[in-house]
Amino acid sequence: MVRLMTERLLLRELALDDWSALHEVESRPEVARYQSFEPRTVAESRAYVAQSYNGAKQDPRETYDLAVILTSDDRLIGRCGLGITDPGQIEAMLWYTMHPSYWGRGYATEAARAIVDFGFRELRLHRIWADCDPANDASIRVLEKLGMRREGHLRENAWIKGAWVDSLIYAILDQEWS
Ligand X SMILES: CC(C)(COP(=O)(O)OP(=O)(O)OC[C@H]1O[C@@H](n2cnc3c(N)ncnc32)[C@H](O)[C@@H]1OP(=O)(O)O)[C@@H](O)C(=O)NCCC(=O)NCCS
> Based on CB atoms, which residue is closest to ligand X, 103 or 177?
103
Is 52 near ligand X (CB under 6 A)? no
Is 42 near ligand X (CB under 6 A)? no
Is 142 near ligand X (CB under 6 A)? yes
Applying the rule CB under 6 A, the residues between 16 and 35 that interact with ligand X are: 31, 34-35
- Taking CB under 6 A as the criterion, the residue among 16, 47, 86, 105 binding ligand X is 105
Q: Rounded distance, CA 122 to CA 34, Å? A: 30
> Based on CB atoms, which residue is closest to ligand X, 86 or 144?
144
> Based on CB atoms, which residue is closest to ligand X, 45 or 139?
139
Min dist CB 34 to ligand X, Å, is: 4
Q: Rounded distance, CA 170 to CA 177, Å? A: 14
Min dist CB 95 to ligand X, Å, is: 6
Closest CA to 80 of 110, 102, 57: 110
Is 55 near ligand X (CB under 6 A)? no
- Taking CB under 6 A as the criterion, the residue among 45, 52, 139, 167 binding ligand X is 139
Min dist CB 168 to ligand X, Å, is: 9
